[in-house]
Amino acid sequence: MTMTGAPLAAVFGMAGLTLADAERAFFKQVRPAGYILFARNIENPQQVIALVNDLRGLNPDFEAFVLIDQEGGRVQRLKPPHWRHAPASGEFEPLFKSNPARAEEIVRLNLQLIGEELRALGIDVDCAPVADVPVAGAHDIIGDRAFSKDPAVVGRLAVSVCEGLRDAGVVPVIKHIPGHGRAMSDSHLELPVVTASLDELRATDFVPFKHLSAQPGLMFAMTAHVVYTAIDPGLPATTSPKVISDIIRGEIGFQGILISDDLGMKALAGPFDERADAARVAGCDLMLHCDGNLADMQAVARTAGTLGARGLAALGDTGARRPRAKIAQTPASEFRILDALRHV
């Protein structure tokens, strides 16, 4: 890979099904490391393929990441009739309780099927798995997006998600590090504050992320817009150097690509250039902005900085974004998943 300069350390969304002239000029100028797709950008397979090719063609000296949230359940941007409806993570817990090895196998197959659908469109990064551990009374923003309230179960099945995606040549994004499961509010709407002790966090929230961080292979992790009073009472994880350095990189041991959650969420405050700068200074490798607002993206671009050595290495590791053992999207594969869930 020969680049004319390091790409911008940002991942941007766009407004519609095709690029507007102003978006095209902006992306071509600032050269973001990646793009993220939402339902507003999706109509049918042919249109998505054309959009992805258009995005990557803007800066052909590197293969930009293209991300999407395709977890299964209520969070999947690709929907029927063109794409399968995948089960929510929480649907696999009963199977795990009866047959853990079978559950790991079926989760891996489920995510390999998702990964095959993504790769067919040119999408190479999936914002999954959710490795959060919900607690009683927490806001339902996580809910059945998590595998279980048992951190050991979450860790094991989240590894299966990563394996299935990588089998299809798709890079997983574990989220929301160091844990969103205790949040009593939705970070899309306000800033959650978690008052659990550090010992409580270590015993539950951190466990799946430590387990995942010990696994081989390229992974991204997405930060939580959550304040943990036991670690840094003044800043959410996304903009806290202490949380990122001491906990995410240190205690948890995650050494992959750290991407901020969406800078446009209401958990964060202030102008967008300040939000991006705070996330960059705290230690995020990539700044994420999702809603396609051009003025806000321009502000992010002013302070996001360029991709560092860790991000450049990942961007150049195209081998990690190639299928390992392609499988056919067959009714038999789908039946194996549904049959396993129905006969617990």
pLDDT tens sequence across 331-340? 667 767 776 7
Tell me which of 143-152, 204-213, 229-238, 312-321 is least confident.
312-321
Q: Where does the pLDDT of residue 342 fall: very low under 50, low under 70, confident under 90, or very high at 90 and above?
A: confident
Average pLDDT of 227-243?
Answer: 97
Query: What is the pLDDT of the chain when averaged over all its residues?
Result: 93
Q: Does residue 328 carry a pLDDT above 60?
A: no
Q: Which DSSP string corresponds to 23-47?
A: HHHHHHHH-EEEEEE-GGG-S-HHH
Q: How far apart are CA 164 and CA 108, in angstroms?
A: 4
Average pLDDT of 140-163?
Answer: 96
pLDDT at position 330 is: 59
pLDDT at position 344 is: 67
* Cβ–Cβ < 8 Å for 32, 14: no
Q: What percent of the chain has pLDDT over 90?
A: 85
Q: Please, which residues have CB within 8 angstroms of residue 327's CB and are 6 or more apart in sequence?
A: 112, 113, 116, 167, 333
Tell me which of 16-25, 44-53, 66-75, 177-186 is least confident.
177-186
pLDDT at position 343 is: 66
Which amino acid does the sequence have at 9? A
Out of 61, 140, 188, 339, the active site residue is 188
261 is catalytic: yes
225 is catalytic: no
3-state secondary structure of 67: strand
Average pLDDT of 295-306?
Answer: 97
Q: Does residue 1 carry a pLDDT above 50?
A: no
Domain 8-342 has CATH 2.30.30.60: no
Which amino acid does the sequence have at 289? H
Geometric angle at alpha carbon 311, from 306 and 317, rounded to 5°: 135
Task: List C-alpha distances in Å: 119 to 57, 110, 113, 158, 327.
Answer: 17, 14, 10, 20, 12
Out of 132, 205, 261, 296, the active site residue is 261
More confident residue, 10 or 316: 10
Q: Does residue 3 carry a pLDDT above 50?
A: yes
Average pLDDT of 179-199?
Answer: 93
pLDDT at position 329 is: 59
pLDDT at position 192 is: 92
Average pLDDT of 86-106?
Answer: 95
pLDDT tens sequence across 208-217? 999 999 998 8
pLDDT at position 327 is: 61
